[in-house]
Amino acid sequence: MNGAHSLLATLRANEVTTIFTNPGTTEVDLMAALDSFDDVHAVLCLFEGVATGAADGFARVTGRASATLVHLGPGLSNGWANLHNARRAHSPIVNIVGDHPDAHRLLDPPLNSDLEGLTQSLGGWFRRIVDADDVADLTAEAVGACYGPPGRSSTLLLPSNVAWSDVAAPPHWPVARRETAPAPSSQDVVHAARSLRTRRSAIFIGGDAVSGAQLALAQRVCAATSSRLIMETFPAIFEHGAGIVSPERLIYLSDFALGQLSDLEVIVLIGATAPAPPFAYRRGPDQIVAQGCDVIDLAPPGVDTFAALDSLVNELDAPPVSNPSGSPAEVPPGPLDSHALALAIASTIPEGLIISDESNTSGLHLYGATQWSNRHRVMTLTGNAIGFGLPAALGAASAKQGRVLAIEADGSMMYTLQALWTMAHEGLDVTVLALSNRSYAIVELELRRVHQPLERSSSQLLVDLDDPALDLAGIARGLGVPSVRVETTQELLDALLRSYSTPGPMFIEAILPHGIG
Amino acid sequence: MNGAHSLLATLRANEVTTIFTNPGTTEVDLMAALDSFDDVHAVLCLFEGVATGAADGFARVTGRASATLVHLGPGLSNGWANLHNARRAHSPIVNIVGDHPDAHRLLDPPLNSDLEGLTQSLGGWFRRIVDADDVADLTAEAVGACYGPPGRSSTLLLPSNVAWSDVAAPPHWPVARRETAPAPSSQDVVHAARSLRTRRSAIFIGGDAVSGAQLALAQRVCAATSSRLIMETFPAIFEHGAGIVSPERLIYLSDFALGQLSDLEVIVLIGATAPAPPFAYRRGPDQIVAQGCDVIDLAPPGVDTFAALDSLVNELDAPPVSNPSGSPAEVPPGPLDSHALALAIASTIPEGLIISDESNTSGLHLYGATQWSNRHRVMTLTGNAIGFGLPAALGAASAKQGRVLAIEADGSMMYTLQALWTMAHEGLDVTVLALSNRSYAIVELELRRVHQPLERSSSQLLVDLDDPALDLAGIARGLGVPSVRVETTQELLDALLRSYSTPGPMFIEAILPHGIG
């Protein structure tokens, strides 16, 4: 038994049994050790950004940590952007990063870099393991730390000499003690309840609090206090569809969000941090919370949101609210646009579908359209770092909780398209709906705030993706995923329904109008 | 005129006129400003690792800096791995990273991260610009710093408010003063010359010193002192082919490198750092320089290698050496393997070709086979971070110094395959020769040092790329590059020759035996 075995045994004892990875030479002892752990599943990803995004998706749908295993500084850097999204989602993840032995690092071999500095820049918890006898305890500590609350990344730097060094198996593998999220104080609950009752107010909800059950509690509180219920723009994962409360959602574009929040005197945070604009502008708001509006931090990330909502319901004696019901709108025939797209998706969602939503501008109508669809869950782009959608879908599907639909903008898809191969390799039930608008439409929209680009100008060429046109379906086929191209709502409906009833991955390229339409 | 104009005007004044980029909302003012600079060329890349690798390739073939423009922390992190390779190549690069305005950053918007920490972990020079009036001077300083010597990355963090703020144009745009590389002292030259003459010795050459002219000087020194001339395993760019000295090359695998260097009493460094093994092993060397061997640091990176070699020639009064001549070996017909592949490439290289070599195990025979080919230059994987080859080829081709051949292993290609689209978008003269061995063969080789994986075992599945098979030619076609698949030497020869005489990019998928063969 060596350090590598000790690490895997401890992960298994802590129920971390899925490892998304692209390993290299410093990780060969861990690779070898995997053959002694039939119940630990290593998922090969052809780029580390796929591995980290997959770990994030897995965490969002299960609430449980998986691991990533990557190769020194460059491997970790390739996974950094999706760990940024995971940090914003408070996803528990254990990263294992192979490194050179200490003595060898002093020679500054080619792959050596400032790995500590890079790891620190991720935020979260990290340790370098220097002694194989510490592997088990530090691995358990890493698992404990990644659960927070709130959840975060834990990163273990594992020099190869630690992985290959012999260790004695302990009588028991250490199991992490998991901290429980504290409930807000009754004083804070009373204060929040009074504020909601007496002033123009909203609950701003997100994070752990956007399950159907908690949204229903929040709705009771809001009904009892004539407050609004507003969901953050990009929750890690929320429940949606028939029977689930569908709150208004904070608008992405700051000018509109400013108007949306302008009359509020109080915002009570449940699972979310204070509303902030994604970007600031020379001529435009750099703050969206109205001046003088109080923000009450009742249950920020890391606090027990269920307890907070339950206490508010009790404090206010808020009665249950009956939900209206409806059904998805009819799907218009003809060529696709963002509206028809949303209706086609909404009318076909099977019960329990998990959506990985990186649809960006093309997905504008999705949230509204799917209100009466079958119950489903939606993961979104928490950290605004594109390239999240396909990896997260891969990770979510690896959790085997049912089919996953990735709704993916073309520009974003190109960041981490390697995920498609692993979907095929693992035979995962993922439908990828790739939205071809041949444009970085959101950037074009923002560019046009400051500038009117001429056709074929330098700036316009930086937002167009049509020269040459990307054959997304062809690329997906090359990566091993059966694919089809659709141009009408009927073709899209057929393709979606066929994919939902066919095991394994399927790729659908949907042709939309060019650009911001 | 605003900060963005000031930055571009200063870059132009410093002859930095190519910008590899994937911009976002924090960069819209820079995008807009580009339309006022016809002679600054922005090259859109569909992933930041492509942009940074392209800047590295551009620097290697021109000796000049280009710029990258990326979007906050996630954008920079996506480019980190190829900046690591660039750091090892001492390539001058100016990175411009857009950021949120200071006041907005305090709200911790979704894309906010520890950007300073991330930037610092890259090494090199960096500054955050806080005042638009400082843009010109700091940009010039960044350009000066990136040239070293030795070359490095300079990174400017440019908050969007600095980019959009008005500035007055200065009477002259500041131009960076470039430091010249110091020559070694005559005392050091005398000592090195005496050591070379009197002991079993080698010149270990690399970095700036592997041009044809300097290799010839080094050969004179070695002939006059009965020393060996050994080139580092992975030089940034070296000249090769008929009429160029072809030194022995340090072997990648440590066990063999140890034997290669075992009889040396002295190693004199010219342009290179001391030989170090890429990895250390439990059972194997963690050092390849023999115990007791003196390493004389005559001209490490940053010192004038030409002056060092010229001084050695003079000190030793070393006469010119006549070079043997030859011609490439005949190419055997039949299916491809790594040997036939090398011979086919060698026999078709046009004069002046620039090769981006990320062929890994499949390229084993390339260096030897191409000794008598037409003169060419070769860029290699300096930092061992895979995903370098296609972006570097893109950057080298952007410099318009003639055709580029990227020889690219399939596993490495998958890291940054987005580069293919930009080759088509820009109509660049690049031939991509993708080597399909359906395997991470180098990792498999290293794994087998410690473990014999069973078929379909966890560890074996982490090095195989054949389930499903990647259709590399199909993927390239989907990205807009004409492509062909070849299985025999004749097909390969035909495809190479056709690509060399056809403007624009061409992709050739070469089918090789599976794995380590």
3-state helix, strand, coil in chain A (%, to 5): 40, 20, 40
Closest to A376 (Cα-Cα) out of A357, A400, A395, A355: A355
Contacts of A42 (CB under 8 A, 6+ apart): A19, A21, A31, A34, A69, B458, B461, B462
> Are the beta carbons of B32 and A447 separated by less than 8 Å?
yes
B284 Cβ under 8 Å from any chain A Cβ: no
| Cα of B328 vs its chain's centroid, Å | 26
> B interface mutation test: which of A27, A28, A99, A286 has the most B CBs within 10 A?
A28
* Residue B430 bridge partners (DSSP): B404
Calculate the dihedral angle through the C-alpha atoms of B159, B160, B165, B167, rounding to the nearest 10 degrees.
Answer: 60
Residue A140: CA atoms inside 13 Å, Cβ hemisphere, count? 16
A46, A273, A451: residue with CB nearest B32: A451
Which residue from B minimizes the CA distance to A39?
B458
Chain A residue whose CA is closest to B285: A104
| B100/A279 CB distance under 8 A | yes
Predicted pLDDT of residue B217: 98
CA closest to A415 among chain B residues: B47
- Find out whether B355 and B378 touch, Cβ atoms under 8 Å: yes
Note if the bond before B301 is cis, omega within 30 degrees. Answer: no
In A27-86, the residues whose Cβ lies within 8 Å of chain B are: 28-29, 31-32, 34-35, 37, 40-42, 44, 46-47, 49, 73-75, 77-78, 80-81, 84
Give the chain A residue whose CA is nearest to the CA of B472: A478
The minimal CB distance from B462 to the residues A42, A277, A449 is found for A42
∠ Cα B160 B72 A284 (to 5°): 35
- Give the SS3 label for residue B432: strand
**Selected residues 376-395 of chain B with any CB under 8 Å from a CB in chain A:** 382-387
A279–B114 CB contact, under 8 Å = no
Q: Using DSSP bridges, classify how beta strands B237-240 and B248-249 pair: parallel, antiparallel or unpaired.
A: unpaired
Determine contact: B206 vs chain A, CB below 8 A. no
* Phi, psi for B281 (deg, rounded to 5): -130, 155
Pick the residue from chain A with its C-alpha nearest to B30: A459
Q: How far is CA B277 from CA B190, B264, B274, in A?
A: 29, 16, 10
Instruction: Tell me whether A110 touches chain B (CB under 8 Å).
Output: yes
Query: Which of B46, B286, B462 is opposite residue A31, by nearest beta carbon?
Result: B462
Calculate the CA B312 to chain-centre distance.
28
A428 touches chain B (CB under 8 A): no
Instruction: Give the distance from residue B336's alpha carbon to the nearest chain A alpha carbon, in angstroms.
Output: 22
Q: Is B114 on the interface with A (CB under 8 A)?
A: yes
Using alpha carbons only, give the angle B236, B242, B245 rounded to the nearest 5 degrees.
55
- Band of residue B517 on the pLDDT scale cut at 50, 70, 90: low
Instruction: Give A461 to chain B, closest Cα distance, Å.
Output: 8
Pairwise CB contact (< 8 Å): B468 & A480: yes
Taking the CA of residue B240 and the nearest CA in chain A, the distance in Å comes to 23
Predicted pLDDT of residue B120: 98
Residue B347: pLDDT band with limits 50, 70, 90 = very high
Residue in A35, A279, A286 closest to B25 by CB: A279
- Confidence (pLDDT) at A203: 98
Backbone φ and ψ for A357, nearest 5 degrees, come out as -105, 100
Can you list the alpha helix ranges (DSSP code H) found in B160-303?
160-164, 186-198, 212-225, 254-261
Per CB-CB distance under 8 Å, the chain A contacts of B161 are 280, 282
Q: Does A114 touch chain B (CB under 8 A)?
A: yes
Angle separating helix axes A419-426 and A389-398, nearest 10 degrees: 20
Distance from B235 to chain A by nearest Cα, in Å?
11
Nearest-Cα residue of chain A relative to residue B461:
A44
Q: What is the DSSP string of B28-71?
A: HHHHHHHTT-TTSEEEE-SSHHHHHHHHHHHHHHHS--EEEEEE
Q: What is the pLDDT of residue B516?
A: 77
Taking the CA of residue A427 and the nearest CA in chain B, the distance in Å comes to 10
pLDDT, position A169: 87
Which residues of A are less than 8 Å from B424 in CB distance?
A: 468
Q: Is A164 on the interface with B (CB under 8 A)?
A: yes
Select the residue from A282, A382, A416 to test the B interface by mutation, using most B Cβ atoms within 10 A: A282
The order of strands in the sheet holding A18-21 is: A41-44, A18-21, A66-71, A93-99, A153-159, A125-128
Interface of B with A in 475-514 (CB under 8 A): 475-480
This prediction has a pTM of: 0.98
The predicted model gives B269-275 an average pLDDT of: 98
- Within 8 A of B386 by CB-CB distance, chain A residues are 74
Quick one: which of A75, A473, A24, A504 has its CA closest to B468? A504
Cβ <8 Å between B280 and A480: no
pLDDT of A244 reads 97
For residue B309, which amino acid is it?
A: L
Chain A residues within an 8 Å CB radius of B384:
74, 109-111
Which residues are registered as beta bridge partners of B249?
B231
Strands A237-240, A376-379: pairing is: antiparallel
A329/A370 Cα distance (integer angstroms): 9
pLDDT band of B453, cuts 50, 70, 90: very high
CA distance B25 to chain A (A): 6
3-state class (DSSP) for residue B194: helix
**Weakly modelled stretches of chain A, pLDDT under 70:** 517
List phi, psi (to 5°) of A203: -90, 130
Identify the CA nearest to B496 among candidates B435, B431, B434: B431
pLDDT over 90 at B169, yes or no: no
Phi, psi of A358 (to 5 degrees): -125, 50
Q: Does A3 touch chain B (CB under 8 A)?
A: no
* Helix, strand, coil share (%) of chain B residues, nearest 5: 40, 20, 40
Determine whether B401 is exposed, middle or buried from the number of CB atoms within 10 Å of its CB (0-12, 13-18, 19+). middle
Helix (H, G, I), strand (E, B) or coil at A131: coil
Nearest CA in chain A to B289: A107
The pLDDT, as a whole number, for residue A517 is 61
Cα–Cα distance measured from residue B483 to residue B421, given in angstroms and rounded to the nearest whole number: 13
B/e letters for B6-18, b = 16+ CB within 10 Å, e = fewer, are bbbbbbebbebbb
Say which DSSP state B488 is in.
Answer: B
Which residues of chain B neighbour A465 with C-beta distances below 8 Å? 46
Confidence of residue B286 (pLDDT cuts 50, 70, 90): confident
> Is ipTM over 0.85?
yes
Residue of A nearest to B78 (CA): A78
For residue A340, CA distances in Å to A99, A167, A409, A507 come to: 50, 60, 16, 19
Parallel, antiparallel or unpaired: strands A506-511 and A483-486: parallel
Using CA atoms, how far apart are residues A355 and A432, in angstroms rounded to an integer?
10
C-alpha span between B267 and B293 (Å, rounded):
7
Instruction: Work out the minimum CA distance from A84 to partner chain B, whole angstroms.
Output: 7
- B471: contact with A, CB 8 A cutoff: yes
B277 interface with A at CB cutoff 8 Å: yes
Q: Report helix, strand or coil for B154.
A: strand
CA distance linking residue B301 with residue B286, whole number of Å: 23
B324 CB neighbour count, 10 Å cutoff: 8
Task: Cite the DSSP H helix spans in B242-354.
Answer: 254-261, 305-316, 338-348
pLDDT value, residue A67: 98
* B107 contacts in chain A (CB < 8 Å): 274, 276-277, 287
Residues of chain A contacting residue B288, judged by C-beta atoms under 8 Å apart: none
**For residues B161 and B28, what is the distance between their CA atoms, to the nearest angstrom?**
11
- Say if A277 is an interface residue toward chain B (CB within 8 Å): yes
Tell whether A459 lies on the interface with B, counting CB pairs under 8 A: yes
